[in-house]
Structures are given as structure tokens and as C-alpha cells.
């Protein structure tokens, strides 16, 4: 049995709707967990999940869009027998009520669970239809929270409209030093409407590492609790008070450990975040 999250000291933040605390660093599964039944390919992913739990992390995010990722996550969690339960988030990504029902039922089967913590409408596909289903499922206890997701600023106007409806507990959105559009309206709105925020694309699909490649980490990064660029970039995101949890994806244990370390220590203040932003602009 792997270590309990209760024994670790990763920072946690409250889900505004309920006050439930979530660790601030989780695991995304886009591309990285789409490995099927290959035992050799699954082995490091199992270690990623074990390391996440041992560090106090709990949040895992997946989707039917991610190929076989849900099934791989379900199988690995069954093997791990974690002492503390993971917070499982997935999505519905299809049009039509019946198709949505079939897809979400399949997610329950693949994840090997009778209740999903967070079900999200992926990239706003047929949002109105699926929201009605999910509101009913929440009342029945099949899901605990419902949310919406997107990854592109082109959808932000619609995301804003939906957040104002008050129907959602979570927003999952892209946000990083390279993609800052969400901080203009969406993150303040999430705070105002008491909506939890999951952050995807924290490294802008690697663009931030391309900019920092070959450049030494500034000495003052250690003062902020960062020992790598990954930690510096993640701590910058977590410095925004609207952010509940960041979900970087990784298939390598070393990268997972590096990411998870960003979840420890005090959050950065506005001056510290600006120092990081200024440094990146000079690269």
C-alpha cells in the first residue's frame, strides 16, 4: 500500500462550493497515459501515480478524448490500492444526450468506480445537453462536482457566459506564463462566482521549456522555493489566488517529482510573480 496523502505536507486549497481541500498539484493524462496494455509502458505511469500519492497529490484528470488513458488510470489505481482516495476527474466529449450517457457510463467502467468526483463538459461540446444530465447525476450522487473545460482563448467569451450561469463547480482552463489571457476575465470571474479552477497546459505544451533551455536558473529562484524551471513556472501559476490545482502531465517519475515539489511552501505574492514574469520576458 502506498503512502497516504494525509502524511504529506503539500499545500491544499479549498473547493469554493464545499470547502473540501485539494492538493495544489495533480496529474494530467493527455497523451502520457494512452499506452494500452503494454506492461513496460505502464510501469513508469504506475510509479508516477504512486509518487503523486506519496507526495500528497490526489487529483487525476482524464477524458475519453485521451484514447486509452481512462482505462490505464483505472487499472493502475486498482493495482496501487492507495491509502487515501484519489480525486478522479474526467469528461464527456460527444454530442447528444444518449451519446453522452453511453460515453460517461463507459468512463465509470474504465475507471473502475461507482462514483466520479468531477465530470466536466470537455471543450464545451454540447454543454447545455450534458449539463442537464450532470445536474441530475450530481443530485443522485453519481458525481460530486460538475465543470466545463477549454484550452483556447478563442472560447473564453462562451466560457465566461457559462460561468455566469452559476451551474458549475469547476472550470478547467489553460493558464501559464506563455498563455495569460485567462487572468484578464476568467480567473477573476471564477473567484467572484466561487468556482474552483484546474489549470491545464501549465508549460504551454513545452514552449516555456524551449525558451528557458540552456539558460541557468536564476539564483533568486531558490528564495521562492524553486529548484527547477518547472517548479518556477508552476509556482507562478499557483501564485494566482483563483487557482485551485495545476495538472501537468508526465510519463516520467523524475518529471513528476519535479512538478510535485512545486506544491510545497508558501504561495508567491504579486511582487515575486512579477519578478518571474520580468525574467522570462528578458529571455
CA dihedral for 32, 34, 40, 44, sign (positive or negative): positive
Q: Which residues are CB-contacts of 130 (< 8 A; sequence separation ≥ 6)?
A: 92, 97, 100, 121
CATH number at residue 115: 3.20.20.100
Q: Is residue 49 part of a domain?
A: yes
What's the pTM? 0.94
* Rounded-to-integer distance, Cα 267 and Cα 241, Å: 9
CA dihedral for 247, 248, 253, 257, sign (positive or negative): negative
- In tens digits, the chain (283 residues) has pLDDT values of 333 333 458 999 999 999 999 999 999 999 999 998 989 999 999 999 999 999 999 999 999 999 899 999 999 999 997 656 899 999 999 999 999 999 999 999 999 999 999 999 999 999 999 999 999 999 999 999 999 999 999 999 999 999 999 999 999 999 999 999 999 999 999 999 999 999 999 999 999 999 999 999 999 999 999 999 999 999 999 999 999 999 999 999 999 999 999 999 999 999 999 999 999 998 8
* Rounded-to-integer distance, Cα 3 and Cα 9, Å: 12
Q: Is residue 231 part of a domain?
A: no
Enclosing domain of residue 105: 22-213+242-265
Q: Is residue 114 part of a domain?
A: yes
**Nearest 10 degrees: CA dihedral of 221, 225, 227, 233?**
-70
Q: Is residue 198 part of a domain?
A: yes
* Rounded-to-integer distance, Cα 5 and Cα 58, Å: 7
- Domains held by the chain: number: 1
Q: Is residue 167 part of a domain?
A: yes
Q: Which residues are CB-contacts of 68 (< 8 A; sequence separation ≥ 6)?
A: 33, 34, 35, 36
Closest listed residue to residue 156, CA positions, set 192, 184, 132, 115: 184
Q: Please give the pLDDT value at position 38.
A: 87
C-alpha cell at 3: 503512502
Strands 21-23 and 12-14: antiparallel
Q: Is residue 236 part of a domain?
A: no
Q: Which residues pair with 89 in a beta bridge?
A: 61, 118
Q: Please give the pLDDT value at position 83.
A: 57
Q: Is residue 144 part of a domain?
A: yes
Could you please report the per-residue DSSP string of 244-270?
-EE--B-SSHHHHHHHHHTTSSPPP-H
C-alpha cell at 226: 524553486
Q: Is residue 281 part of a domain?
A: no
Amino acid at each position: 500500500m502506498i503512502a497516504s496523502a494525509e502524511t504529506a505536507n503539500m499545500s491544499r486549497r479549498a473547493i469554493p462550493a464545499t470547502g473540501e481541500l485539494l492538493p495544489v498539484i495533480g496529474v494530467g493524462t493527455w497523451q502520457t497515459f494512452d499506452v494500452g496494455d503494454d506492461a513496460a509502458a505502464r510501469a513508469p505511469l504506475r510509479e508516477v501515480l504512486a509518487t503523486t500519492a506519496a507526495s500528497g497529490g490526489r487529483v487525476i484528470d482524464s477524458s475519453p478524448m485521451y484514447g486509452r488513458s481512462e482505462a490505464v488510470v483505472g487499472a493502475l489505481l486498482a493495482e496501487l490500492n492507495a491509502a487515501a482516495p484519489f480525486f478522479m476527474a474526467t469528461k464527456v466529449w460527444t454530442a447528444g444526450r444518449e451519446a453522452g450517457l453511453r460515453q460517461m457510463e463507459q468512463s465509470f467502467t474504465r475507471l473502475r468506480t461507482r462514483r466520479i468526483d468531477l465530470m466536466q463538459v470537455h471543450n464545451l461540446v454540447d454543454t447545455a445537453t450534458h449539463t442537464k444530465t450532470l445536474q441530475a447525476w450530481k443530485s443522485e450522487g453519481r458525481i460530486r462536482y460538475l465543470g466545463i473545460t477549454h484550452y483556447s482563448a478563442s472560447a473564453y467569451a462562451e466560457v465566461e457566459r457559462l460561468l455566469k450561469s452559476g451551474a458549475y463547480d469547476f472550470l478547467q482552463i489553460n493558464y501559464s506564463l506563455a498563455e495569460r489571457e485567462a487572468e484578464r476575465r476568467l480567473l477573476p470571474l471564477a473567484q467572484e462566482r466561487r468556482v474552483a479552477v484546474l489549470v491545464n497546459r501549465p508549460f504551454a505544451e513545452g514552449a516555456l521549456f524551449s525558451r528557458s533551455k540552456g539558460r541557468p536558473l536564476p539564483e533568486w529562484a531558490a528564495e521562492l522555493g524553486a529548484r527547477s524551471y518547472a517548479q518556477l513556472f508552476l509556482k507562478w501559476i499557483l501564485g494566482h489566488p483563483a487557482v485551485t490545482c495545476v495538472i501537468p502531465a508526465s510519463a516520467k517519475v523524475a518529471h513528476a517529482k519535479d512538478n510535485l515539489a512545486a506544491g510545497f511552501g508558501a504561495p508567491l505574492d504579486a511582487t515575486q510573480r512579477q519578478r518571474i514574469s520580468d525574467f522570462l520576458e528578458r529571455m
